[in-house]
Amino acid sequence: MSGFVPGLELSRAYYADVVAPLVADIPHSAALIGPGSEVLAFDTQRSADHDWGPRVLLFVPPGAAAETEAAVEAGLPSIFCGYPTVFAQHGQVRHGVRVAELGGWLTSRLGFDPRGPITPLDWLSAPWQALAEVTCGEVFHDGLGELNRVRAALRWYPDDLWRYVLACQWQRIGQEESFPGRCAEVGDELGSATLGGRLVREVMRLALLQRRRYPPYAKWLGSALARLPGAAELGEALGAALAARTWRDREAALSAAYERLAAVHNRIALTGPVETSVRPFHDRPFQVIDGGRLAEALLESIGDPQVRALALCGSVDQMCDSVEILTHPARARAVTAAVLTLQPAAA
């Protein structure tokens, strides 16, 4: 990794030293946001083998794209800080300066234009990865005066929707938390371990949601969790759950993780205090946190009756994990609208 320049640092310098002088006479905003591990600051030397290099996204007024692209292409060097400025990007070899109009770009990433009112359907149909890509990275220059405002508006869910998404995440845990023990009880340790892994993922996502972080997609989920302040002990418990060879060890590790997140629930105080200890699952010998009771407490704290009445399905990430849906905003929006019966025009 010696000598590696993180992509965000590289692109910041690229804009300041090269791109900004080329477009100084054109009103614009400039940023590194959108897809790419460097936007979430997860890139390493390995990232440089594809879709990586000095990149800048330029937003310009309607009708200014052609002029901007011509100015950029006329002045870009072939090398910047030792990196080629023309490189493969998603199957196409080209330079790393993209020009777009803000509204169209946002709609292509999120499925809606957040410069206007943001509806519950907008929030819940936008995948967490897409929201992270728009709100992370860095704005180098906001000459159009809209980009920083949009990013601030999307930084996190409105309070009632945050409570709703958290409730749905606790509900997901509550629906399966007794299953690892039940599988093992009938001799299915493989099934128990598989369910343990599923629950580990749900706990990781819940931990991020509690801290007002959009959980990234699978490749970076563990990396994102590791960056949370105070997450080391939670990570140790989840690692023990994955490494467990018996269901009782698995259950003990998961129980420790559940109790930690229940304690966080009390600290962020979105509801009244809840009991943080695990307890038996009815009259069966399995220890659970009973995620459903935390979901119920969160739902009861929601002030908007329309949000409180939504089915406990949550955001599109909580409904499905199909890449072919989550990476196509129109499909993600259609799935969310259908499941939650939210109307695009009236939500």
- Give pLDDT tens digits for 161-185: 999 999 999 999 999 999 999 999 9
Please check whether residue 68 is in contact with residue 23, taking contact to mean a CB–CB distance below 8 angstroms: yes
Alpha-carbon distance 251 to 12, whole Å? 47
Q: What is the pLDDT of residue 47?
A: 86
Could you tell me where the beta strands, DSSP code E, fall in the chain? Answer: 29-32, 56-59, 79-80, 83-84, 86-89, 92-95, 97-100, 138-142, 279-281, 284-288
Dihedral angle, C-alpha 292, 295, 301, 302, nearest 10 °: -130
pLDDT-derived band at 51, boundaries 50, 70, 90: confident
pLDDT confidence of residue 344: 55
Mean pLDDT on 247-261:
97
Looking at residue 92, what is its pLDDT? 84
| Cα–Cα separations (whole angstroms), residue 228 to 37, 204, 217, 318, 338 | 18, 11, 16, 21, 34
Can you give the pLDDT at residue 310?
Answer: 95
User: Is the per-residue pLDDT at 342 higher than 80?
Assistant: no
Segment 68-91, tens digit of pLDDT: 999 999 999 999 999 999 888 877
Q: Which pLDDT value is given to residue 345? A: 45
Residue 285 backbone dihedrals phi, psi, to 5 degrees? -85, 45
8 Å CB contact between 30 and 55:
no
pTM to 2 decimal places: 0.94
pLDDT score of 346 more than 60: no
Tell me the three state secondary structure of residue 19. Answer: helix
Among 324, 306, 302, 280, residue whose Cα is nearest residue 182: 280
Average pLDDT over residues 31-46: 94
Question: Would you call 302 helix, strand, or coil by DSSP?
Answer: coil
- CA 280/CA 267 separation, integer angstroms: 24
Alpha-carbon span 122 to 218, nearest angstrom: 23
Decide if pLDDT at 306 tops 90.
Answer: yes
Give φ, ψ of 286 to 5 degrees.
-125, 135
Crossing angle for the helix pair 218-226 and 232-243, to the nearest 10 degrees? 130
Tokens for 266, please give them: 């009390």
127 has pLDDT over 70? yes
Cα separation of 242 and 250, whole Å?
Answer: 7
Q: CA-to-CA distance for 112 and 241, rounded, in angstroms?
A: 39
52 pLDDT higher than 90? no
DSSP state letters, 209-260? HHTT-PPPPHHHHHHHHHTSTT-HHHHHHHHHHHH-SSHHHHHHHHHHHHHH
Model confidence at 218, in pLDDT bands (50, 70, 90)? very high
Across the range 261-288, mean pLDDT stands at: 96
User: In the prediction, which pLDDT does 1 show?
Assistant: 42
Has residue 347 got a pLDDT over 60?
Answer: no
Is 80 exceeded by the pLDDT of residue 343?
no
pLDDT at 93 over 80: yes
pLDDT at 295 over 50: yes
Flag whether pLDDT at 159 surpasses 50. Answer: yes
Q: How far apart are CA 105 and CA 35, in angstroms?
A: 12
Nearest to 130 by CA among 327, 277, 289, 292: 327
The percentage of the chain sitting over the pLDDT mark of 70, rounded to a whole number, equals 98
